[in-house]
C-alpha cells in the first residue's frame, strides 16, 4: 500500500511538471502567434510571397519618392544660384546739418556677385532713390563711398 501511495505521488508530481511545461510552451506559442499575426498584418496576408511583394511595392514607391525629392533639391539649388544671397546695408547722413542717418544704400547680389544697388538720399526737399546694376561685383556707373562700402559688405559674404 505504501508503494502504491509513493507511486501515486510520483505520478502526480510528474503530471504537475508536465502540466507546468505545457503551460510554458502554450504561453511561448501564444507570444509567437502574436508576432506572426503582426508580421502577417493580422491575417490579411496569407503567405510569404504576399509579404515580399508588398515590401517590394513599398520599396519601389520609396525609391520613386526619393528620386522626386532629389530632383526637387536639384531644382532648388539651380534656382538659388540666381537668387539674392548676399546683402549689404549702409546707413549714412549725406549732410551734416540735417539730422540722423536717414539715407541708406542696399546691395543685393546673387552668388556670382550680380545684382543691384539701391541708394536712398534723404534731403530737405524729400527723398531721392537711385538704382545701379552690378555685374560680377562691378558697376558701369561711378559709385559713392557708401555704395562701395555696401557692395564690399555684401561681397564679403561667402556662399
State how many domains the chain has. Answer: 2
Task: Tell whether 74 is covered by a domain.
Answer: yes
Q: Strand 103-109 to strand 126-135: parallel, antiparallel, or no bridges (unpaired)? A: unpaired
- C-alpha atoms less than 13 angstroms from C-alpha of 94 in its C-beta half-sphere: 16
Is there a single domain that holds both residue 137 and residue 115? Answer: yes
Q: Is residue 106 within 8 Å of residue 148, measured between CB atoms?
A: no
Residue 1, pLDDT score: 73
Cα separation values, 149 from 18, 43, 143, Å: 92, 72, 10
- The 10s digit of each residue's pLDDT in 72-116 is 999 998 888 888 989 999 998 887 766 678 899 999 999 889 999
The answer to whether position 8 is within a domain reads no
pTM above 0.85, yes or no: no
Whether residues 77 and 133 share a domain: the answer is: no
User: If pLDDT is split at 50, 70 and 90, which confidence band does 2 have?
Assistant: confident
Q: Is 134 left (phi over 0), alpha (psi -120 to 50) or beta?
A: beta
- Would 19 be classed as within a structural domain? no
Q: What is the mean pLDDT of the chain?
A: 87
Are 99 and 53 contained in the same domain? no
Tens of pLDDT, residue by residue over 25-65, are: 888 888 888 877 777 666 666 677 777 888 899 999 999 99
Are 57 and 72 contained in the same domain? Answer: yes
Please tell me whether residues 91 and 70 are part of one structural domain: no
Question: What confidence score (pLDDT) does residue 41 get?
Answer: 66
CA distance 105 to 150: 6
Residues spanned by the domain of 47 = 34-81
- Grid look-up 546691395 returns 107
Q: Does residue 129 sit in the same domain as residue 145?
A: yes
Amino acid at each position: 500500500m505504501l508503494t502504491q501511495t509513493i507511486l501515486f505521488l510520483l505520478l502526480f508530481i510528474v503530471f504537475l511538471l508536465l502540466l507546468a511545461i505545457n503551460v510554458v510552451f502554450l504561453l511561448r506559442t501564444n507570444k509567437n502567434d502574436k508576432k506572426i499575426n503582426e508580421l502577417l498584418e493580422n491575417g490579411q496576408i496569407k503567405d510569404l510571397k504576399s509579404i515580399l511583394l508588398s515590401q517590394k511595392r513599398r520599396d519601389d514607391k520609396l525609391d520613386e519618392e526619393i528620386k522626386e525629392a532629389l530632383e526637387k533639391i536639384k531644382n532648388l539649388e539651380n534656382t538659388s544660384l540666381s537668387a539674392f544671397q548676399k546683402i549689404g546695408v549702409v546707413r549714412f547722413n549725406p549732410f551734416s546739418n540735417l539730422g540722423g542717418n536717414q539715407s541708406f544704400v542696399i546691395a543685393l547680389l546673387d552668388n556670382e556677385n550680380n545684382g543691384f544697388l539701391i541708394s536712398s538720399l534723404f534731403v530737405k526737399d524729400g527723398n531721392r532713390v537711385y538704382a545701379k546694376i552690378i555685374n560680377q561685383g562691378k558697376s558701369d556707373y561711378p559709385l559713392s563711398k557708401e555704395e562701395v562700402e555696401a557692395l564690399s559688405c555684401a561681397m564679403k559674404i561667402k556662399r
